[in-house]
Amino acid sequence: MIDILAPLKFKPTRNYSLTGPERQRALDDGLANAEWYQTPIDRKVLKELMKRKDGPALRDTAIWLGLLVATGAGGVYFWGTWWALPFFVVYGVLYGTSSDSRWHESLHGTPFRTDWMNNWLYNLASFMQIWNPVIWRWSHMRHHTDTTVVGRDPEIGTMRPPQMILMALNLIGLTSVPRNLMTLSRHALGRFTPDERDFTPAAELPKAANVARIHMAIHLTVWLSCLYWWTLLPALLIGLPRAYGVWFLLFIGLPQHAGLAEDVLDHRLNSRTILLPAPVRFLYWNMNYHVEHHMFPMVPYHALPRLHAAIRHDCPRAKGWWETWVQLLPVMIRQVRDHKYYIHQQLPPGAGAPKSGPRALH
């Protein structure tokens, strides 16, 4: 009998668990907490790039929140007519796509010089993402320590073989949003998976449970408001945009690591920089400069274009969005059948020797 649900069942070929056999292999092979390749850069230049300012992020956050309010108000004003649609399309992208980069940058504490502003934005964007801010902070630290090291990195977004149908469903958050809500509910009950316990200190778990309870209370209030007034409008403004507005994020964010090497100690080989036009870089807060971000995570988003210019001689040629997907999509389709296949990033002549690591054949 043909199992028609087989493509939906998640069966990664390798064991991506943080508590499974790959964890020990990563430790044995020296891939955990390892020294990574860094492009040599003059210390004074780097210090200048790392310098913190409040101005750019205050300006960009005001524009972002202003656009959210304006498009949300437009959607409410025209609610019940087709004119509401374009407002919600833009509102959804500003909410469901842009909150990802705001979450990410503020987690690193780099957008603002004044740290409470970083923490404020981090908590807001985490809520918009339907992510637990405590758990995801620790998860992302591990992602930076052991980027795409199988058995160590909890944020490998495209495990092999790629789950193409799941990715297609998640263009409108069909599985990711229910999963995020279920995860938050589980945290609110004080339950954490072995993987979460692996990268989060035990002392942080009560805090994670409390934050989850607050977030879930807000989501429940929104849904009860929908029932009380018998309209979808409150959920279209809070919560659901993470579903109907996330599609753009997949197009610009999935190439960060997809189709590239696992288990290497060189971000030039497992991360990808793509070139995007300025309006899209505003939506994404320059996270398209992903090799640069991973190699030097202390450089704020507004300085990443300058960092790109300073180190591109040592990195794979950055492609545009279309050229990236023309290369990437066939590779992902091939990986469905051949999970060992991946893109070997080509370094330019004169670049530093790649640091492939002992498991580069995977």
Partner 1 sequence: MPLTPATALDDVDGDDVIRWDHGGRTSAIYRTKGDAVFAADGLCTHEHVHLADGLLQGHLIEYPKHNGRFDIRHGAPKRAPDRVALKTYPARVVAGRIEIDVPE
Q: Which residues bind partner 1 (CB under 8 A)?
A: 33-34, 43, 47, 50-52, 108-110, 115, 137-138, 141, 144-145, 201, 203, 296-298
CA 242 – CA 157 distance, rounded (Å): 17
DSSP letters of 109-169? T-S-SSHHHHHHHHHHHHHHHT--HHHHHHHHHHHHHSTT-TTT-TT-SSPSSP-HHHHHH
CB nearer to partner 1: give 104 or 215: 104
Assigned token pair, 209: 């449970």
> Is residue 349 within 8 Å of 357, Cβ to Cβ?
no
CB nearer to partner 1: give 28 or 115: 115
Environment class of 261 (CB within 10 Å of its CB; exposed 0-12, middle 13-18, buried 19+): buried
Euclidean distance between the first and final Cα of the chain, in Å? 33
CB nearer to partner 1: give 131 or 138: 138
> Is residue 279 within 8 Å of 316, Cβ to Cβ?
no
CA 277 – CA 320 distance, rounded (Å): 9
CB nearer to partner 1: give 47 or 59: 47
Closest distance between partner 1 and the C-beta of residue 319, in Å? 26
CB nearer to partner 1: give 48 or 338: 48
CB nearer to partner 1: give 160 or 290: 290
CB nearer to partner 1: give 79 or 198: 198
Closest distance between partner 1 and the C-beta of residue 263, in Å? 18
The three-state DSSP-derived secondary structure of 165-221 is HHHHHHHHCCCHHHHHHHHHHHHHCCCCCHHHHHHCCHHHHHHHHHHHHHHHHHHHH
CB-side exposure of 159: number of CA atoms within 13 Å?
16
